[in-house]
Amino acid sequence: MTLNVDTPAPARRPGPRRTAGHRSPGRGGRGFARFDLRATPYFLVSPYFLLFAIFGVFPLGYTLWVSLYDWELAGDKTFLGLDNYINLITDGAFWNAVVNTLGMFVISTIPQLVLALIIANALNKRIRGRLFFRLGVLLPLVTSVVAVAVVFTQLYGRDYGMINWFLGLFGVDAIEWQNQSWSAWIAISTMIDWRWTGYNAIILLAAMQTIPKDLYEAAALDGASPRRQFWQITVPMLRPTLVFVVFISTIGGLTLFTEPVMFEGNPTMAGGATGQYQTVAMFIVKEAFRDFDMGYASAAAWLLFALILIGTLINYSFTRRIGGKK
């Protein structure tokens, strides 16, 4: 910050700049001034990097190390090399978890982003009680994930759940929501959407407000309908923000954990009797803390990392094209 303040200032305020630029010699020698100027910013940001090194880089490296062993929790450790990775790639349960995760990601994220875009566009208009609605869409985010999951799980309960009661009014038989992939995926996706749609909407809204109003005025003069304005102006101008939102959703979606765990009721991390909604994150925790195989779990964690990288790249190439044909 200090470095930047100095450079653009001179043209407009030559007088004050002089004193501002030379305030350091008064406090110490010239050498110290330069050191101060250069090192202070690094010093000021260092806590983040220190914490990142301790809680970010170290566990990453350690996980990689553990993933090369048959590492039993409070037990024996034998070096395996890449065996864990090879076993994982041929492990049907792992791929089942990957398919579940991707499935839930797709059916939760696409409607969520579309909905967020629509909500943001609506909130961007002149409506009465705008602040109330804007805060309102953020409210779900304030509640704890666990509370959300507990409430939704009860709503989806087979015997005493409200959704089955409601469906029952139309003569639909009680659905065992946990039992099949499709129903479990839907139930879990609604939990995710309920919580995150408003969050994404607010981010998109903030970006929408930076779009110059004269673009819309010009378009309106040319006779463009609001719908056309939305697709031709708003969406292309939102591209960088959409990329960000898609990134965050990809990372969140691929590491989905709390909702399906709570949905299961008893935290065995199995994701249903046949693993119909076991996510990769649950698979990792199950291997590590239910079957006590830390090495295998670490290898799975690294594969998940790779999966997220690939997913993010794919999504990036998609979102980059939004409005590209302009």
Partner 1 sequence: MLNTKRHGKLAAVAVMAATALAITSCGSNEPAKSAAGGGASAPAAEPVTITVHTFGGGANFGYKKAVETWNAAHPNIQVKYQNLTDRFEDVYLPQLLQKLQAGSGTGDIVGIDEGAMGLMKARPQFFTDLAQYGLDSRKTDFPAAKWDNGINKDGKLFALGTDIGGMGMCYRKDLLEKAGLPGERDEVSKLWPDWASFMEIGKKFQAANPGKGAPKFLDGPNTLYNVVLSQEAPKNGNIAYFDTGNQLVIDKNPAIKTSFDTVKSYSEAGLTAKLASFTPEWNAAIKKGGFAVMGCPAWMLGVISGNAGDEGKGKWDVAGVPGGAGNWGGSYLAVPAQSKHPKEAAEVLNYLTGKEGHVAAFQEAGAFPSSLSGQQDPAVADMKNGFFSDAPTGKIFSDSVKDLLPVFLGEKHAQVKTAAEKVLEGMDKGSIPYGEAWTRFIEAGTKAAG
Return the residue of 70, 140, 179, 215 that touches partner 1, per CB under 8 A: 179
Residue 255 touches partner 1, criterion: CB under 8 A: yes
Check: CB of residue 279 under 8 Å from CB of residue 134. no
Cα–Cα distance measured from residue 173 to residue 179, given in angstroms and rounded to the nearest whole number: 14
Cα–Cα distance measured from residue 156 to residue 265, given in angstroms and rounded to the nearest whole number: 12
Nearer to partner 1, 123 or 281 (CB): 281
122: which 2 tokens?
């609506």
**Considering only 116-124, 141-149, 174-182, 318-326, which stretch makes contact with partner 1 by CB under 8 A?**
174-182
**Considering only 12-20, 22-30, 100-108, 152-160, which stretch makes contact with partner 1 by CB under 8 A?**
152-160
Paired residues of 79 in beta bridges: 69
The tokens 């693993």 sit on which residue?
275
Instruction: Compose the 12-51 pattern: x for residues touching partner 1 by CB under 8 A, - for all others.
Output: ----------------------------------------
Q: Report in angstroms how near the CB of residue 290 gets to partner 1 at its nearest.
A: 6
Residue 74 touches partner 1, criterion: CB under 8 A: yes
Nearer to partner 1, 234 or 249 (CB): 249
Residue 77 touches partner 1, criterion: CB under 8 A: no
Q: Report in angstroms how near the CB of residue 144 gets to partner 1 at its nearest.
A: 15
Check: CB of residue 203 under 8 Å from CB of residue 141. no
Return the residue of 17, 24, 33, 63 that touches partner 1, per CB under 8 A: 63
Could you tell me which of 252, 297, 256, 285 has the C-alpha nearest to residue 91? 297
Residue 73 touches partner 1, criterion: CB under 8 A: yes
Return the residue of 28, 59, 226, 240 that touches partner 1, per CB under 8 A: 59
- CA distances (Å), origin 147, targets 105, 154, 242: 21, 11, 29
Residue 276 touches partner 1, criterion: CB under 8 A: yes
Residue 176 touches partner 1, criterion: CB under 8 A: yes
Residue 19: Cβ within 10 Å count: 9
Count the alpha carbons within 13 Å of 288 in the hemisphere toward its beta carbon: 16
Could you tell me which of 263, 267, 269, 262 has the C-alpha nearest to residue 156? 263
Nearer to partner 1, 74 or 221 (CB): 74
Residue 114 touches partner 1, criterion: CB under 8 A: no
Check: CB of residue 158 under 8 Å from CB of residue 263. no
Residue 175 touches partner 1, criterion: CB under 8 A: no
| Contact residues for 147 (Cβ-Cβ < 8 A; gap 6+) | none
Q: Report in angstroms how near the CB of residue 81 gets to partner 1 at its nearest.
A: 19
Paired residues of 293 in beta bridges: 72
Q: Which residues bind partner 1 (CB under 8 A)?
A: 54-60, 63, 73-75, 93, 153-154, 157-160, 174, 176, 178-180, 251-252, 254-255, 265-270, 272-274, 276, 281, 289-292, 301-302, 304-305, 308
